[in-house]
């Protein structure tokens, strides 16, 4: 299995609070992605990174920000969580783009 | 705008039968079409992928069929087994320009019954 660790795996928070999800990889892959998975919507790209400090928006980036200060870490931040951001968040990595994506095990976020 | 449309949303197949999942895309520049398989509580994992220079690719019981003129591709699972019960996602992207991102379909929940 690809070395991808997401933390936390489960989180319950209140509307309006900030939340940070962390993705850590040990594969030294160049590309890192954050997706959210919701019933009826499949996997939707939030943000992605193509190198340290190089990031770009995906199709559902509003309300989210990311940072990548090291090759191995990609952080997803919800500055002020809303109930619509209740979802399962997946981090993925790839050696090339497009290429095979290796996914983490997901982080389930509930915003009350 | 949904660029990759996947159907059906859910599918129940008897053990030993053929499972068929269909996807249609809109962007004619797409030239990389992978399928991902996801088991409950896990992240998706690449199952099989095709590029449009071939019309079919087979790996074991799994086959991708590709119809470039119709902008459609499908996954066939032969001799379906209970262990194939999972959610399947098709996806598509361009591959010529670098930094290309996959666009996923909405997923098909497949259940294989004994």
User: pLDDT per residue over B19-74, tens digit each?
Assistant: 999 999 999 889 899 999 999 999 999 999 998 888 999 999 999 999 999 999 99
Interface contact A103-B43, CB threshold 8 A: yes
Average pLDDT, integer, range A3-11: 97
Q: With 0-12 CB in 10 A as exposed, 13-18 as middle and 19+ as buried, what is A64?
A: buried
Which of A97, A102, A103 is opposite residue B99, by nearest beta carbon? A97
Average pLDDT value over all residues in chain A: 95
What residues have CB less than 8 Å from B113, skipping those under 6 apart? B12, B13, B14, B15, B82
Q: With 0-12 CB in 10 A as exposed, 13-18 as middle and 19+ as buried, what is A99?
A: buried
pLDDT band at A24, cuts 50/70/90?
very high
Q: Which of residues 50-109 of B touch A (CB under 8 A)?
A: 89, 93-95, 98-102, 104-107
Average pLDDT, integer, range A39-66: 94
pLDDT of A1 above 70: no
Strand partners, A102: A93
**Distance of residue B89 Cα from the nearest chain A Cα, in angstroms:** 8
pLDDT band at B96, cuts 50/70/90?
low
Interface contact A43-B89, CB threshold 8 A: yes
Interface contact B101-A98, CB threshold 8 A: yes
Q: For position B53, what pLDDT does the model report?
A: 85
pLDDT band at A99, cuts 50/70/90?
confident
> Sign of torsion, CA A40 A2 A13 A57?
negative
Q: Which of B84, B67, B60 is nearest to B12 (CA)?
A: B84
Q: For position B1, what pLDDT does the model report?
A: 55
Average pLDDT, integer, range A83-89: 98
Interface contact B107-A100, CB threshold 8 A: no
Helix, strand, coil share (%) of chain B residues, nearest 5: 5, 55, 45
Interface contact B36-A50, CB threshold 8 A: no
């Amino acid at each position: 299995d690809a070395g991808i660790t997401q933390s936390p795996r489960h989180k319950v928070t209140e509307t309006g609070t900030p939340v940070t999800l962390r993705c850590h990889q040990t594969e030294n892959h160049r590309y890192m992605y954050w997706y959210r998975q919701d019933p009826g919507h499949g996997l939707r790209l939030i943000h992605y990174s193509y190198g340290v400090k190089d990031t770009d928006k995906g199709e559902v980036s509003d309300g989210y920000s990311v940072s990548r200060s090291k090759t191995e870490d990609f952080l997803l931040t919800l500055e002020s969580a809303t109930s619509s951001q209740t979802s399962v968040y997946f981090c993925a990595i790839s050696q090339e783009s497009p290429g095979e994506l290796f996914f983490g095990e997901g982080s389930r976020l509930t915003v009350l | 705008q949904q660029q990759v449309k996947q159907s059906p949303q859910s599918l129940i197949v008897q053990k030993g039968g053929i499972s068929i999942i269909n996807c249609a895309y809109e962007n004619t520049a797409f030239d990389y079409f992978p399928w991902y398989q996801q088991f409950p509580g896990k992240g998706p994992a690449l199952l099989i992928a095709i590029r449009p220079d071939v019309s079919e690719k087979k790996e074991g019981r799994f086959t991708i069929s590709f119809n470039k003129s119709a902008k459609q591709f499908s996954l066939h699972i032969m001799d379906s087994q209970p262990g194939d019960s999972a959610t399947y996602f098709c996806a598509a992207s361009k591959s010529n320009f670098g930094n290309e991102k996959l666009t996923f379909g909405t997923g098909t929940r497949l259940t294989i019954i004994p």
